[in-house]
A = this chain, B = another copy of it.
Amino acid sequence: MVDILDRVRNKALQSKIVTPEEAVELIKPGMTIATSGFTSSAYPKAVPLALAERMKKDPFTVNIMTGASTGPEFDEALASVHGIKKRLPFQTDRTLRSQINDGTVDYIDIHLSEVAQLSRCGYLGHIDVAVIEACAITEEGNIIPTTAVGNSASFIQSADIVIVEVNNAQPLEFEGMHDVYLPLDPPNRLPIPIIHVDDRIGTPYIPCTPDKIRCIVPCDIADHTRSLAPLDATSQKMADLTIEFLKREIEAGRMPKNLLPIQSGVGNVANAVTAGFVHSDFRDLTVYTEVIQDGMLDLIDAGKLSFASGTAFSPSPEGMARFFKDIDKYKKYMILRPQEISNSAEVIRRLGVIAMNTAIEVDIYGNVNSTHIAGTQMMNGIGGSGDFARNAYLTIFYTPSVAKGGAISAVVPFCSHVDQPEHDVDVIITEQGVADLRGKSPRQRAKEIIENCAHPDYRPLLRDYFERADAKTNHAHTPHLLDEAFSFHQRYLETGSMKM
């Protein structure tokens, strides 16, 4: 217990240290629990594990709000005991996903920038308990977050009571890496005063008082982050196309030589693109993103990164080890902010972010599906993709042109779910090439997307659809054959392949 006492700097609060089993007695069936956690970072672990154990014996459900996805000690643990009734705003857990898609869990898929405001304004129901992972609690009762800030500051403000999970596995060196700014709500909101990615506008802790903290739970479980997949040729090709495209933008005078702040989603393509920057001759790069991953460490080591702002630091286990080894160096290049600031429409548009996100599918007119498989099955959620896509200076969506060994075309006649409307999409990149949609009408976009981005196996089918739709509608603004708009998806559902 020595360690935890060092981390709970307010002596009176030390008397509130309890076991996870004692803490979860505060949680009643039907309550709404709002927690820390963004991607597989900074989520509480001991409390949800204890809650799941309690639910095993005495089944009940609660509603869960987080920053974004969490790790297996949280979403999987609770889902596997059928403990979640309502969940928002994002998740990536397999067990939970299946319950979202079988009617067990009510899932509300929300732009990540908007969750805190919606919650404070009372649109998402009352928050009974906040459960927040911390590196430490200050003498004043303020909370030092760990690997993410997420919605923690807002949730603590709104919750009736707060359970703090003090995690000994998170190095105390995280202290100072956070910048916590909680905007006032309308009609009292002021401009968010970020002009450069490294501007500090808040406090290095989440404001809280000892009174509000009902109990403190020690934990020593590390973030369950994922290993990086090795770079595959498809991702590599998309990364190369991106670097070439951006160089042409600079040559055309549409961007400064060190680009504009970069946002990149999570996953293989994002990793490949970041690796592309490492090996490029770009310098003084800046990053204004959600999730900071391994690639940023590479950029720092290569001397190419000026600064990275995010809401979560979610490297692979190897990346985390590398970070811990040289934490004093790396932390100078990074800041973690609340997600309503990292994903703020205001700040993203002001800074002129280059947004690079992955699509599940795109249609021939440039609409993007970010969430649903075959229009019905929720994959993860929209996450921050809409926050960045709508407000970016340049919005790029990526997808391999085919999936499942060619049985699925990522370019379809009509997206089976539209998360990013055509109005929000500037560029689509597959391993086949680049479709530059800027300033083009839907019919011009269709040609650009089919000829540059679709897989050659699917181009004849897509051309055929477009040409027949164009003829049948007498060249309408957006030609479609409504009885065939989902024919690719239907064929896949019926035959296992979108091919004829």
Contact = CB atoms under 8 A, between A and B. Distances in A.
Interface of A: 86, 88, 100-103, 106-111, 117-118, 121-125, 185-187, 189-193, 195, 252-254, 256, 260-261, 344-346, 349-352, 367, 372, 374-378, 382, 386, 390-391, 393, 416-424, 426, 438-441, 443-444, 469-470, 473-480, 482-483, 485-486, 489-490, 493
A30 to B, nearest CB: 15
A493 B443 CA distance: 22
Given A106-B441, A108-B440, 15 more contacts: A109-B423, A110-B423, A111-B423, A122-B254, A123-B254, A189-B349, A189-B350, A189-B352, A375-B478, A375-B482, A376-B478, A378-B476, A417-B478, A418-B418, A418-B421
A375 B124 contact: no
B187 A260 contact: yes
Contacts of A117: 393
A154 to B, nearest CB: 15
Nearest to A415: B418
Given A345-B349, A477-B101, A441 B195 contact: no
A376 B186 contact: no
A185 B423 contact: no
Contacts of A367: 418
A485 B376 CA distance: 11
Nearest to A189: B350
Contacts of A485: 375, 485-486
B443 A386 contact: no
B256 A187 contact: yes
Contacts of A469: 376
A101 B443 CA distance: 11
Interface residues of A, dominant DSSP: loop
Given A108-B439, A418-B367, A439-B108, A189 B351 contact: yes
B489 A352 contact: no
B482 A490 contact: yes
Nearest to A372: B478
Contact of A423 (B253, B346, B376, B419): B419
B477 A352 contact: no
A124 B346 contact: no
A117 to B, nearest CB: 8
Nearest to A469: B376
Contact of A375 (B190, B419, B480): B480
Closest 3 CB pairs of A and B: A186-B352, A103-B475, A418-B418
Integer count of this chain's copies in the complex: 2
A421 to B, nearest CB: 5
A12 B192 CA distance: 45
Nearest to A348: B345
A430 to B, nearest CB: 21
A345 B348 CA distance: 10
Contacts of A122: 252-254
A345 B391 contact: yes
A103 B186 contact: no
Nearest to A418: B418
15 contacts: A86-B441, A101-B473, A106-B441, A125-B439, A189-B350, A190-B350, A345-B346, A345-B391, A372-B478, A375-B482, A375-B485, A376-B469, A378-B477, A416-B480, A418-B418
Contact of A441 (B108, B261, B440, B482): B108
Given A191-B192, A352-B187, A376 B479 contact: yes
A187 B351 contact: yes
A441 B107 CA distance: 5
Contacts of A102: 474-476
Contact of A106 (B125, B260, B444): B444
Contacts of A391: 345
B100 A477 contact: yes
A250 to B, nearest CB: 12
Contacts of A101: 473-477
Contacts of A474: 101-103
A169 to B, nearest CB: 34
Contacts of A421: 382, 386, 418-421
B439 A124 contact: yes
A200 to B, nearest CB: 16
A254 B177 CA distance: 34
Contact of A118 (B125, B261, B438): B438
A346 B350 contact: yes
A443 B477 contact: no
Contacts of A382: 421, 423
